[in-house]
Amino acid sequence: MIVGHPSLRRLQRWLDGEEDGLDRHLATCERCATRIESLETDDSVLRQPLLELLTPPEELTTRLRGGIDERMRSREDLTLLSELFGLPIRAARVMSSTSQGET
């Protein structure tokens, strides 16, 4: 049971689906029903600018993928170089350990 009128915060929570128990009050209270309509209007006025503000630029995905691809290619190139230059070192170590074991 609601004593008096719910606060704007509580009405907004009801609109957002986070508040229960106001249905009966809103069905009989013209003042609160008007406030709900006002909150809905305010939401619709703010929704589009907020969506525009929060929507990432169209080229963002392309830029991110390009950067990731470039880093992966660099990493692959470095791995290949390290394997190429590391091969003679490994071979020398194997040969060195083999010759030390024979003496």
pTM over 0.75: no
Cα-only R_g, the chain: 34
* Each residue's pLDDT tens digit, 7-65: 888 888 888 888 888 888 888 899 998 888 888 776 666 777 777 888 888 888 888 88
Q: Report how far apart, in Å, the C-alpha atoms of 24 and of each of 30, 38, 73 are.
A: 12, 19, 63
* Each residue's pLDDT tens digit, 72-88: 888 787 777 777 776 66
